[in-house]
Amino acid sequence: MVVVDKPSGLLAVPGRGEAGRDCLSARLQDEVADALIVHRLDMGTSGLMVFARGLPALRKLSLAFEQRRVSKRYLAVVDGWLDDDEGRIDAPLIADWLARPRQIIDHEIGKPSLTLWRVLAREPDRRTRLELTPVTGRSHQLRVHLASIGHPILGDGLYAAPAITDAAPRMLLHASALTVPHPVDGRAMAFDSPAPF
């Protein structure tokens, strides 16, 4: 397997059109031909991503994600001060088919989605630095969940108001820690990446 630290602003996988060709998976495959995508990060999110080396490794790593044997931690800076020091957001998500790629909370047909959060610092400009642990791994889960409790991620152009989007030069969300079983011998492999903000 290969673990890569993705910069913010770079697609994880190919997108539409000529501009969508430049992405992390294509750059990595130029150097490691058998690198296959296991999971994704949003374009605006930076941080750790794991790639499988070949199809047998892809099957094992994909199964580890499916069985929740992979742990991920993110760092984020959100708008406002949270009252509690830690909590959980348990809100089912589904694609908003009329406004793709947005996701929405839907308690009737949404898929179960759980995020654990912990305050790291309350900053003087009414911002809060959080550690986030997604128990499930839905598209845009952290972004939607934080916006749903009134604390959108700074720089998030999809789920935050314009003033909050413009309050940061990028989306302040970073995949900072990843622990994954090695696809050959199952050893727990832990990786860390400090947040660049």
Active site residues: 42
pLDDT computed for residue 18 by the predictor: 83
Low-confidence ranges of the chain (pLDDT < 50): none
pLDDT, residue 173, reads: 98
Q: What is the CATH number of domain 2-192?
A: 3.30.2350.10
Q: Please, are residues 118 and 130 in contact by the beta-carbon 8 Å criterion?
A: yes
- Tell me: the pLDDT tens digits for 97-117? 999 899 999 999 999 999 999
So what's the pLDDT on residue 145?
A: 98
Question: Residue 194: is the preceding peptide bond cis (ω within 30°)?
Answer: no
Share of the chain above pLDDT 90, in %: 94
- Spatial contact of 51 and 4, defined as CB atoms under 8 Å apart: yes
Report the C-alpha gap between 27 and 126 in whole angstroms. Answer: 38
pLDDT at position 157 is 95
Q: What does DSSP assign to residue 151?
A: -
Percent helix, strand, coil in the chain (nearest 5)?
20, 35, 45
Q: State which H helix or E strand residue 75 sits in.
A: strand 71-79
pLDDT digits (tens, 9 = 90+) for 27-54: 999 999 999 999 999 999 999 999 999 9
Measured CA to CA, the distance from residue 24 to residue 5 in angstroms comes to 10
pLDDT reported for residue 158:
96
| Parallel, antiparallel or unpaired: strands 71-79 and 127-134 | antiparallel
The pair phi, psi for residue 110, each rounded to 5°, is -70, 155
Quick check: 117 and 130 in contact, CB under 8 A? yes
What pLDDT does 17 receive? 84
Q: CB-based contacts of 20: which residues, under 8 Å, 6+ apart?
A: 11, 14
